[in-house]
Amino acid sequence: MTPTVLILGAGSDMAVAIARRYAQAQYAVQLAARRPEELHTLQQDFQIRHNVAATAHSFDALDFDSHAAFYQSLPARPDVVICVFGYLGDQEKGQQHWEEAARILHTNYTGAVSILNIVAEDMAARKTGAIIGISSVAGERGRMSNYLYGSAKAGFTAYLSGLRNRLFHAGVHVMSVQPGFVYTRMTENLTLPPLLTAKPEQVAEDVFKAAARKKNVIYTRWFWRYIMLIIKSIPEFIFKKLKL
């Protein structure tokens, strides 16, 4: 039987790369995004290039009340669910305007918890499946330049850890992904260090391989594990004086 993967937030560059990797592996692909009509070309590409079923579905991470109906409407229960959506937002704007702060917090944390709670209940009942959450290294230590985003990702990382602990006993695997800098539309206005910045395709390959090996937590690219180890080891009385 053909396995199925659900990509939540399928319109992003990283999500498209991950969806392509799963289509290459002959997964049927369910693409969920706020503007599913924009995914028509991607659907056709998967169907023609890889001969796999590809469907597009309307999904809004911030419309919490619609999440249960969205999941119930899927043509098949997914074997793998990958939560990719996120919103970097504007830190300075968020400091001054709650509307921006709320969008950052709810997109990166509340929306993810809302839909993954529903997925978790279904997979626990079936005693099978895998949930993959794309968090961020930004959640490992708060920095003045993006602590709203980072705090939401910190919460999401903790949520995935607890979910992994709970669902292990039901035969469901949960993997946390901690990306560093990635070249995407979300980061196109940032000046990123080339040696430390990955392409979406590199992240997708890391995610696919790690999920197949049932890894619990991965950093992508791999060197971010050691970069964050150094950053987390800086004493607070020194760290608070830095402008990061």
Q: What do you get for the CA distance between the two ends of the chain, in Å?
A: 49
Asked if 50 contacts 23 with a C-beta cutoff of 8 angstroms, the reply is: yes
What is the number of helices (H) and of strands (E) in the chain? Answer: 10, 9
- Active-site annotation holder among 27, 149, 159, 219: 149
Say if residue 125 is exposed, middle or buried (CB neighbours under 10 Å; 0-12, 13-18, 19+): exposed
Active site residue 22: no
Q: Which amino acid is at 234?
A: I
User: How many whole angstroms separate alpha carbon 243 and alpha carbon 94?
Assistant: 18
Instruction: Identify the sign of the CA torsion 92, 84, 198, 189.
Output: negative
User: How many whole angstroms separate alpha carbon 107 and alpha carbon 105?
Assistant: 6
Query: What is the DSSP code string of 167-220?
Result: HHTTT-EEEEEEE-EE-SGGGTTS---GGGEE-HHHHHHHHHHHHHTT-SEEEE
Nearest-5° Cα angle at 13, 12 to 18: 95
Residues with a known catalytic role: 149
